[in-house]
Structure 1
Amino acid sequence: MNRYMNDIIDVLKVDFDINISIFDESFLTRIINMRISDTKSKNIKEYKKLIKENIQEAIVLKRLLNITYTRFFRDSLIFAQLQKIVLPSIITSINQQRELRIWSAGSSGGQEAYSLAILISEFEEELGIKIPYRIIATDISETKLKKGRSGIFRKNEVIDLKLKYIEKYFTSRGSEYIISEKLKKNISFSYFDLTDDKNIKPPESIYGDFDLVLCSNLLFYYNPEVQKKIIVKSELSLGPNGYFITSEAEKVLVKDFTKLKQINPTSSIFKLNNQGAIL
């Protein structure tokens, strides 16, 4: 990392209390180069001067670094394994004796959380039982959290969903699709910073003990130290026999954690390392 990049990190930390050193260096470089171009700065030295003199540019940079993108059932392979292996295993072990607890970390606009709720609702219908569950969806973007709470999505955001899911779980209103209250009532959206050392788990969860923690397409934005911190937090938030899910590209980052074992050699789904069989 060159001197001016380090200077930008220092300026943001000292002048604006914004810590961007947590991010992966290549990701950080790409975003800053984009802002150099967008602001028509001649070079990184000139951009450093701009950011020191203009708090709005600091805010823009911070927002770009924290942008998350998702969609319903984003990773079809992971959701297939959730549907066929993980959720049936959890539901069977709980046997309606307690609430199923799920944490969607870095939830963005709630598409991941609502996708999970759809799968659970489908299981309820298939098995003819009521499955009590709570999904805690967290993010650091109040804009994204507000969207998740609203449960309102544009047509292009639901276009990849199966038609039967749209018909069963959404109400159309013009160009908007509104998620059903049946699903919304089981999901809460709250602010939580995975990089903050103060809390291991979302305060709203009280004691953690999640059956399932999803942290997908998020780890690779951060440097190795922060990646480890996030994985450890997720691991400590799991209850007995809990599952941790990350993306295909990020599973290599989790393999060294001895308490988390892949459910199969190629999977990006991990389970707490209990004695005996993984499933």
Structure 2
Amino acid sequence: MDAFLTQVLAELKAARGIDLSGYRESTLQRRVAAWVAKTCPGDGDAYLRRQKDDPGEWDRLIEAITIKVSSFFRNPMMYEALARDVLPELIEGKQGGKAREIRVWSAGCATGEEPYSVAILLDQALGDQRSDWSCLIFATDLDRAALEQAEAGRYTRKQLETTKLGLVDRYFTPDGDGYQLRPSIRNLVQLSWGDLVSPDHAIPADSLFGSFDLVLCRNVLIYFAPDAQAAICEQLNRSLAPGGYLVLGAAETVSRELSGTLQAVDRKNQIYRKPPQRRSGPHR
């Protein structure tokens, strides 16, 4: 890693408490260089001085580094698997319990399309029983600007291009040249800042504890070096409740250390499951 990039990352960590050293070096090098060329062409020292004069520049740099492409129901086959297999299994497993609660974490939620897509699927799956259930969906991201967009709940036609027309009509209202998410879905999701490589800020603070029934961390691991990937996978595994599901991106897989712990239940869609807790038999 060159001296300039090392200094930028060190000062970013000091200013914002964010450690991006686990990102793939080639990705960091490319995105930081592109951003510096755009803001202070050919002058790294001038860029560092600018950081000191304008603290908000750190947030803009984070946004430039953590570029994400997202849309509602991106990768429709994965969402079909959630609707067909995962959510019915979770709902059935909790039907007889005292607490009818489903806990979800969208890790690396970008501008909110993923957690809101899951919220729509849950609303569909529960149907008339929706008022009898507590659906807690936590969504975290490193990019504060992306979280602000998610909070607004307003999306373009392009961001909804893989959403079935009936769902658009039911869960969105037209708003100028875009669409506004209805409050009934927006209110199911709690958005917060989170850093997956930080032990102190990985799991959503508002969730109080992990015990998630479903964790989605899609197209995030690919940006990290192998050691950071393994650490993130361990965080995700610890956050899962027994019997909970983990969903990764199409080009991702769990770390070698967890391959014997998490069962691959749908390799095509990268869906894994933590073994359910064994029930102890009757004492004799």
Do both proteins adopt the same fold according to a TM-score greater than 0.5, normalized to the shorter chain?
yes
Q: How many residues align?
A: 269
TM-aligned CA distance change 1:180 to 1:4, over 3 Å:
closer
The Cα shift of 1:211 comes to: 0.2
Q: Which residue of 2 aligns with 1:154?
A: 156
Q: Which residue of 1 aligns with 2:145?
A: 143
**Does the alignment pair 1:221 with 2:220?**
no
Q: Distance in 2 between matches of 1:216 and 1:171?
A: 27
Q: Which residue of 1 aligns with 2:281?
A: none
The Cα shift of 1:274 comes to: 4.7
TM-aligned CA distance change 1:268 to 1:16, over 3 Å:
closer
Match of 1:54, SS state, is: helix
The Cα shift of 1:176 comes to: 2.8
The Cα shift of 1:169 comes to: 0.8
Q: Distance in 2 between matches of 1:208 and 1:118?
A: 22
TM-aligned CA distance change 1:145 to 1:32, over 3 Å:
closer
**Does the alignment pair 1:72 with 2:72?**
yes
Match of 2:115, SS state, is: helix
Higher mean Cα deviation, 100-109 or 147-156? 147-156
Q: Which residue of 1 aligns with 2:189?
A: 187
Q: Is the 8 A contact 2:155 2:180 kept in 1?
A: yes
User: Deviations along 1:203-259, whole A, 9 cap, x unmatched?
Assistant: 2111211100001111111222222222111111111101111101112x4354132
Q: Give the unaligned 5+ runs of structure 2.
A: 279-284
Q: Is the 8 A contact 1:263 1:271 kept in 2?
A: yes
Q: Which residue of 2 aligns with 1:28?
A: 28
Query: After superposition, where does 1:1-279 map in structure 2 within 5 Å?
Result: 1-10=1-10, 12-13=12-13, 19-35=19-35, 37-39=37-39, 41-42=41-42, 46-47=43-44, 49-55=45-51, 56=54, 59-95=59-95, 97=97, 98-125=100-127, 128-130=128-130, 131-251=133-253, 253-257=254-258, 258-274=260-276
Q: Is the 8 A contact 1:18 1:62 kept in 2?
A: no
Q: Give the unaligned 5+ runs of structure 1.
A: none
The Cα shift of 1:197 comes to: 2.0
TM-aligned CA distance change 1:151 to 1:8, over 3 Å:
closer
TM value normalised by structure 1: 0.85
Match of 1:194, SS state, is: coil
Q: Is the 8 A contact 2:136 2:188 kept in 1?
A: yes
Q: Is the 8 A contact 2:102 2:136 kept in 1?
A: yes
Q: Is the 8 A contact 1:200 1:237 kept in 2?
A: no
Q: Is the 8 A contact 1:255 1:261 kept in 2?
A: no
Q: Distance in 2 between matches of 1:40 and 1:199?
A: 32
The Cα shift of 1:264 comes to: 3.8
* RMSD of Structure 2 on Structure 1 (CA): 2.6
Q: Distance in 1 between matches of 2:158 and 2:219?
A: 21
